[in-house]
Amino acid sequence: MLFDPKQENLPYTFALIKPDTTLKPNVVQEVVNKIEAAGLTIKNFVQVQELYREEVLNLFYKQQKYMDEIMTYMLSGECVMFLLCHETENPILVWKKMIGNKDPIEAKKADPQALRAIYGTSIIKNEFHGSDDPFSANKERDIFKFPIPQKIPDFKFDKMLVSLETLFKFLYPPNLEHSNALERLDIFAIYGPCVNYHSVDQCLCRECALIGKEHLEGVRESLITSEQTKLGIKIRPQPTTATKTQLPQRVQLPPIRLLKEEDIKQIYQSLCEKCQFHCNGYTHLQGGRNMQHIMTDQELNTLAKEMNKQEILELLYSEKGNAANVMIETIDLNEPNHYTKEMIELLFQELETDYYNRFKFYHLQNVILEDRRIRMNAWMSILINKPIHRFKNPKLVCKVPPEMRKNPESIHYTINRILPLNQTYKKKDITKMPLDFPPNLADKEKLNPNEEKLALLKKLHRDTHHMVEIQDAKKVVSNGVYLLRKYNDGRNGEWDNYSSLKAMNRGSYVNYEEKKKKEKL
């Protein structure tokens, strides 16, 4: 098993059963049963193995007084070695307590149930060994090339850890057919992160909102109770309906209107199908008082335009002076660059993720803001006709090591390009054609006389368009031919599923022909 840096390392201790006990399989099984009964977990079990002299020296280097006797005994037979882990306690202390004192005589006095007290006969033949501390455990594990015990980390909801799936839900919401992903990406970096929180007032239907409010009220009451307990305030009973005056509460919390991921998980099955779809397909940006407001699409668009205006205005001031105030009024504030999902994935491909493929928000923020600087410079170069390579990077003023410029946690992080991704990104070339494609007559090198006309028509059909009048369509083109097509990558391009036609009081060519047939009947 290879070491996985994304998994969680477990505390462990090295354990060894010496030769005399290893010769008794039933005794070894009894020891294993006692180990499991104590809550310890055996990792990397090695049943039998003979030790080398160097391994014994490294393992018992502290016992120089008895080294000769130990060496003779340890090389006399096979040993059982394994790593032990415990879920809640320190495995080193648990195993040390189980085996007891080094001297079996002293072990019997302190704890008759200790393993050395039961199976040991002398200090040399005490039959069990355990690590003294984490440093020794790591060294002894390394002697026998055992991998570090690991486990899959428990999943925890954390708003500062963002997956690409969560980010794409914010950039491409289902209700918008053509969302401006770059503007939303910039808002995410400056005002984010986006979270899978949902407002009971804005996101849910009336029935589901009542369920959500009831749940949030219970969460609010538990928060008040825990805060009162923390402050040492006695929890007063709630006033009855007959009591007119309410008892004052010293701990007050405003109403909660946002369902967090933990809350949605608890009430998800009670929501209707439409609200479940909303919770699965959308992520939002928080705002407002106490961060209890979900920003709408209109608010995000207005915010994006204002952000673009302020940054373009600052760049114009540095280039054109006071004329920037006049120029900004004539500029379209919609960003001209557009990124696809593949480009956004390429933007973050060098960032590290956790076990659940989530990025740290601070890393995403640094990368997006640096990419925004490049995009703004490209936008400015179009507006003022200035070559883009003449725009200076302010981060290059400071002299820092190159590794700091590649570190997304550093304020000096820099992207080594001057053009936006949409101007440098290239689609993957089709280098190998599928073998199951039949040969195309248009690509044949040598043609028979009866194939030349057909091959010419296929080439024209592939690379050109034929425009005809609707009334002459039946004479020139067949019913199965589209009037418009869209050329795309591939051997034969890609057919467009829609055809366009401009005519007076007539539908498509097919509908027109069907109408004529009905009139004849």
* pLDDT on residue 456: 80
Over residues 487-493, mean pLDDT: 46
Sign of CA dihedral 497, 500, 501, 505: positive
270-320 tens-digit pLDDT? 999 999 999 999 999 998 888 889 999 999 999 999 999 999 998 888 888
Per-residue pLDDT at 254 exceeds 90: no
* pLDDT on residue 322: 87
58-82 tens-digit pLDDT? 998 888 888 899 999 999 999 999 9
Q: What is the spatial distance between Cα 153 and Cα 165, in angstroms, rounded to a whole number? A: 20
Q: Which residues contact 112 (CB under 8 A, 6 or more apart)?
A: 118
Name the helix (H) or strand (E) containing 92: helix 91-99
**Band of residue 489 on the pLDDT scale cut at 50, 70, 90:** very low
* pLDDT on residue 399: 78
Residue located via tokens 């498509």? 508
Name the helix (H) or strand (E) containing 376: helix 361-384
* pLDDT on residue 33: 93
**Band of residue 44 on the pLDDT scale cut at 50, 70, 90:** confident
Per-residue pLDDT at 162 exceeds 90: yes
91-122 tens-digit pLDDT? 999 999 999 999 999 999 999 999 999 999 99
498-513 tens-digit pLDDT? 444 444 444 444 444 5
Per mean pLDDT, which range of 226-235, 288-297, 370-379 is the poorest?
226-235
Per-residue pLDDT at 5 exceeds 60: yes
**Band of residue 38 on the pLDDT scale cut at 50, 70, 90:** very high
388-to-314, 373, 378, 382, 417 alpha-carbon distances in Å: 17, 12, 6, 9, 11
* pLDDT on residue 508: 45
How many other C-beta atoms lie within 10 A of the C-beta of residue 100? Answer: 24
Among 373-387, 419-433, 485-499, the range of highest mean pLDDT: 373-387
Per residue, the 3-state secondary structure of 204-241, as one string, reads CCHHHHHHHHHHHHHHHHHHHHHHHHHHCCCCCCCCCC
* pLDDT on residue 299: 92
Per-residue pLDDT at 347 exceeds 50: yes
Over residues 248-256, mean pLDDT: 72
Over residues 404-421, mean pLDDT: 87
DSSP state, residue 483: S
Per-residue pLDDT at 515 exceeds 90: no
125-145 tens-digit pLDDT? 999 999 999 999 999 999 988
Q: What is the spatial distance between Cα 180 and Cα 163, in angstroms, rounded to a whole number? A: 20
Name the helix (H) or strand (E) containing 47: strand 40-50
Name the helix (H) or strand (E) containing 259: strand 258-259
Query: Which of 361, 154, 166, 362 shows the shortest CA–CA distance to 261?
Result: 166
452-482 tens-digit pLDDT? 888 887 777 766 655 655 555 555 554 444 4
Q: What is the spatial distance between Cα 286 and Cα 194, in angstroms, rounded to a whole number? A: 7
Whole-number percent of the chain with pLDDT over 90:
46
Per-residue pLDDT at 213 exceeds 60: yes
Q: What is the spatial distance between Cα 197 and Cα 294, in angstroms, rounded to a whole number? A: 8
Per-residue pLDDT at 234 exceeds 80: no
**Band of residue 445 on the pLDDT scale cut at 50, 70, 90:** confident
Per-residue pLDDT at 361 exceeds 90: yes
* pLDDT on residue 255: 85
DSSP state, residue 75: T
**Band of residue 370 on the pLDDT scale cut at 50, 70, 90:** very high
* pLDDT on residue 229: 82
Residue located via tokens 């981060």? 395
Query: Which of 159, 160, 338 shows the shortest CA–CA distance to 261?
Result: 159
Over residues 185-191, mean pLDDT: 94
Query: Which of 300, 328, 219 shows the shortest CA–CA distance to 266?
Result: 219
* pLDDT on residue 482: 43
Average pLDDT over the chain, rounded to whole?
82
Give residue 212's identity as a one-letter amino acid code: G
* pLDDT on residue 86: 92
Over residues 219-228, mean pLDDT: 86
* pLDDT on residue 483: 45
* pLDDT on residue 491: 44
* pLDDT on residue 389: 83
Per mean pLDDT, which range of 206-220, 296-310, 318-332, 389-403 is the poorest?
389-403
Rounded to 10°, the helix 297-320/361-384 angle is: 50
Query: Which of 145, 129, 127, 154 shows the shortest CA–CA distance to 44?
Result: 145
